[in-house]
Structure 1
């Protein structure tokens, strides 16, 4: 693999991430004269459905997205041994989960700054007919103070006004909307909005709103709504936004357009 990448102008460095059938490595690009991240996907290790459905979809989606808050893919390479390499911009400052673990609960202005950027990225995706379907703190990277959304492995293409519903369970349980956990037909865009609510809660409280070790109990908690810890003194406007995002009835949950117009984001 190293020889193949070297021949293409990339000098491999340390491993910075690992998935089930992929690795993300740092590399130096001769062409760009800077460090990049290379996601190496082994087609021989991935299950048939992943290779047939999800991987082609991910490749199709990432090459068409171009936004300041989304990790940019410079090029895609495939080796003779069936390894696909996605050469991407490198976000050197880790993900927002690590950031919150390090910093503790963020003050509202800091949380707002990051969340606004996530809203812009998702608004761009939804307007481009893409649902991410795996939004979590680990998939929101930092480049200085700039948030960069990554990992479109579960993303789905949806025509803009499509009413097409999904049955697929995607993403991480802790960030999944009730309708996704229940396996009922759902609008993936509304699922993204719920996951954004979980991310905002983590930014403000430094822990997830729901315990995902017991799914039936988690579903019960989701229906009940989640109280914000009193000692954190979170503003009424912000609590109102959290309540809207974590609305268990997906028909009442706002679209990303509705989220972007919320006073907590617009009156900053």
Structure 2
């Protein structure tokens, strides 16, 4: 049975292709029950690598079923067919993702970026309080609803934070996410604090929002790492940014993990950006 037939039986009319990879694709669909358009991620387990099937897919499904927050994409249902396909039906980001938005419109004015970033930071605070880490924060994983509110998506690299018998966080060893958004400790293959890693990626996202460009050029990882470790953040001269905004980015892009802000410090940043 093809995807359109499978979805039709569940009350969805399949629409256009939203994205495609080697073992997964995302389609739009109309839900008769919800009376709105949705996104359907279709994963073909027969084509997916074992590591993904054994580790990442079960975690993603567990996290999607668990997280419920206005700034996180809503999951409506998850089901599997006998031929090994998993269908994840979620809210649709009707205005596309943040990267597309910035590519079309350029840097976001600081007052608008402040509102969007506050929504994202609240979604991360919610996850971190549940001991869930995202580990793949990037502009492509931030969808926009019809009012341009942020909706965090793609929990493919997310996991529950492990703790030892004394309650201390067990360091992560898996390289997750995109190099351009990755913290220096992750790029170096050093076991890392996963919540602290999310904060670095938040800093990169905010920089891109207000500057319309990347803080570091990931085409040369060795050079990028050198700049990161020297705590050099170059803001474009063409952009007029408040001292508060620059200070918050600078403190999130802190190479010393013991000095990098935690999510509560981001939201209560003493410069007053948020």
User: Normalized against structure 2, the TM-score is what?
Assistant: 0.94
| CA–CA separation in structure 2 for the residues paired with 1:243 and 1:18 | 35
Match of 2:51 among 49, 52, 59: 49
**Equivalent position of 1:129 in the other structure:** 131
| CA–CA separation in structure 2 for the residues paired with 1:101 and 1:253 | 29
What's the CA shift for 1:219?
A: 0.3
Whether the aligned pair in 1 keeps the contact of 2:244 and 2:273 (CA below 8 Å) is no
**TM alignment of 1:196-235, pairs within 5 A:** 196-224=202-230, 225-235=232-242
Match of 1:166 among 164, 169, 172: 172
Match of 1:12 among 14, 25, 40: 14
DSSP 3-state at the match of 2:265: helix
| CA–CA separation in structure 2 for the residues paired with 1:206 and 1:263 | 25
User: Normalized against structure 1, the TM-score is what?
Assistant: 0.96
1:258 aligns with 2:274: no
* Deviation per residue, 1:213-249 (Å, 9 max, x gap): 1111110111232121122121111111011000011
**Equivalent position of 2:197 in the other structure:** 191
**Equivalent position of 1:32 in the other structure:** 34
What's the CA shift for 1:19?
A: 3.3
In structure 1, stretches of 5+ residues that fail to align are none
Match of 2:149 among 139, 143, 146: 146
What's the CA shift for 1:166?
A: 0.3
DSSP 3-state at the match of 1:249: coil
* Deviation per residue, 1:111-138 (Å, 9 max, x gap): 1111001100000010111100000000
In structure 2, stretches of 5+ residues that fail to align are none
Query: What's the RMSD between the two structures over aligned residues?
Result: 1.3
User: Structure 1 residues 162, 31: CA separation in 2 closer, same or farther (over 3 Å shift)?
Assistant: farther
| CA–CA separation in structure 1 for the residues paired with 2:176 and 2:76 | 26
DSSP 3-state at the match of 2:66: coil
| CA–CA separation in structure 2 for the residues paired with 1:198 and 1:210 | 9
Provide the aligned length of Structure 1 versus Structure 2.
267
Match of 2:111 among 102, 109, 126: 109
| CA–CA separation in structure 1 for the residues paired with 2:43 and 2:137 | 20
